[in-house]
Structure 1
Amino acid sequence: MSELARAAELLDGAGALLICAGAGMGVDSGLPDFRGGEGFWRAYPPYARLGLRFEELADPRHFAEDPELAWGFYGHRLSLYRKTVPHDGFRLLLDLAPPGGTRVFTSNVDGQFQAAGFAHVAEAHGSIHHLQCLSGCTSDIWPADINVEIDEETMRAVPPLPSCPRCGGLARPNILMFGDYDWVPHRSQAQLDELTAWRRTARDLVVVELGAGQAVPTVRRYSELASAATGALIRINPREPEIRHNRGISIPAGALETLTALLA
């Protein structure tokens, strides 16, 4: 039996479904692939001219030292994610609807699962669609009901920049960035707590992991932990499909292509 057929059979008998998704899930929706400097720079040529990589820009210190640079990067992404239509693979996953329900665990901050209609999404690294105060005057998290004007030549934000409604100071996205000690986690923690409680009662759980690489292994580790007892893991990844100890089904292909074939 092929890996695809084994995965289809596993899904057919699923009592509950956990979807674990990394950045590769959004590629079929037209979102840029940030894997490596070259992929990031193809999406954002101004940063190539400056020699700035994704990891360097996704640093919270820029909000204090150069807020126009910081909000140029995150403001552009916020606009991009708002305009992006989730690809048909999201609908295919929704259509599975096992009796025990579906949950999502993702490191993505783009809000694509919510836009596709998923009701229960645990965003491990936060959301670009929510803000927090840079100075920490409050632990409140509020929706990013803002529009940030961007100079497309320099990729810098044009003031006024998003501000905190309590102190009037600068606001930042409620996203866990690299080397970030000031992220306010309680919104994401509440989502994770709900997911943990659901997992305790889920029966015949099948885990589908999509587009999660090893560079930031948050999603891969979670999917392996969630499926450790049964090995009911389907890992879909065109470049890094391997599963430790062969505890699961490995499919070396993209998300939309594989989901279409599985659900056929």
Structure 2
Amino acid sequence: MTDSTTDDALACAVQWLREADGLLVTAGAGMGVDSGLPDFRGTEGFWRAYPALQAEGVYFADIANPAAFLHDPARAWGFYGHRLNLYRRTVPHHGYRILGQWAERMQHGAFVFTSNVDGHFQKAGFADGRIAECHGSIHWLQCVDRCGEDAWSADGLGVEVNDANCRLLSPLPRCVTCGAVARPNILMFGDWNWIGARTARQMARLDRWLSSVQKLVVVEVGAGKTIPTVRHFSERHGPRVIRINPRDYAIHLQRGVGVAGNALDMLHRLDHMLDC
């Protein structure tokens, strides 16, 4: 895409944002990179963030797997505990606030659909009732044995991790009902025991909100092609999709426009154009 084409796409995006009465934000892992969160793109990206797992030849799909909590829960919680602590202490970048400000100008505000499990949209001030987390959230827990059919909050959970070997130092989190090991309420690889009740409630709220919006604009940020859940969801709600991605920004003309760039830079640029 040339610079002139990018300018045309941005101008089109600004016009859609001005005309919209509702903002659907669809976000993948690229949304968090500008906040300093690690990019797990490819094996090298994952191992760069977790060298202890590289030394053992552990791949992302090996540790982001419910079987890891059965075979070696201290290591599984070393990985997820590190991520929980990281997401808790990281401040969401200014792009989240920009999206929130756009939504305030629209009659129906915003709703978020995200594959991210970091809880940063809530942390940035988006209402919890206006967020759908299709892969769950690290800030909620469930039983590894699925003794119940719902999750509970991890707000009171403190975890201590030895980052050098990616192992849990504090006691294993336990199910509040049966005492078995607890795990994050995240949809993992090969995950037949994921409890999706919380996400199902979120999706029901999203469907109700979508039915009320007449002039929808979709801003998709940092959604990759490897697991294209977010991209497919965005395209189902075209034709006014603004796809922001540094590499995989292409989108069919009948679905929307693609803008090459990272989340924060492009959101700032669009915001400046809206104010002009």
What TM-score results when the alignment is normalised by the length of structure 2? 0.92
Code of the residue aligned with 1:176 in structure 2: it is L
Counterpart in 2 of 1:106?
114
Q: Aligned to 2:188, which of 171, 177, 186?
A: 177
Q: Is residue 216 of structure 2 the alignment partner of residue 205 of structure 1?
A: yes
Aligned to 1:187: 198
What is the CA–CA distance in structure 2 between the aligned matches of 1:201 and 1:102, rounded to whole Å? 12
Map 1:25-36 → 2, pairs under 5 A: 25-36=31-42
Partner amino acid, structure 2, of 1:116: A
Aligned AA for 1:198?
A: W
Match of 2:4 in 1: none
Of 115, 118, 134, which residue of structure 1 is paired with 2:144?
Answer: 134
Shift of 1:245: 5.1
2:150–2:197 CA contact under 8 A, matched in 1 = no
Query: Contact 2:24/2:113 (CA < 8 Å) preserved in 1?
Result: yes
Structure 2, gaps ≥5 residues long: 1-6
> How many percent of aligned residue pairs carry the same amino acid?
52
Q: Which runs of 4+ in 1 moved over 3 A?
A: none
Amino acid at match of 1:57: I
Task: Please state whether the residue corresponding to 2:34 is helix, strand or coil.
Answer: helix
Structure 2 SS opposite 1:29: coil
Q: Is the 8 A contact 1:100 1:203 kept in 2?
A: no
Q: Which residues of structure 1 form unaligned runs of 5+?
A: none
**Deviation of 1:159 (Å):** 4.2
Question: For 1:249-260, what aligned pairs fall within 5 Å after superposition?
Answer: 249-260=257-268
Kept after mapping to 2: 8 A contact 1:126/1:188 = yes
How far did residue 218 of structure 1 move?
0.6
Tell me which residue corresponds to 1:67: 73
RMSD: 1.1
8 Å CA contact 2:150–2:198 kept in 1: the answer is no
- Number of residues paired by the alignment? 261
Letter in 2 for 1:175: I
1:220-231 to structure 2, matched below 5 A, reads 220-227=231-238, 231=239
The 3-state SS of whatever aligns with 1:220 is helix
1:7 — aligned with what? 13
Q: TM-score, normalising length from structure 1?
A: 0.96
Question: What CA distance in whole angstroms lies between the structure 2 residues aligned with 1:41 and 1:246?
Answer: 38
Contact 1:92 1:260 in 2 (8 A): yes
Question: Conserved in 2, the CA contact under 8 Å of 1:23 and 1:107?
Answer: yes
| Counterpart residue identity of residue 13, structure 1 | E
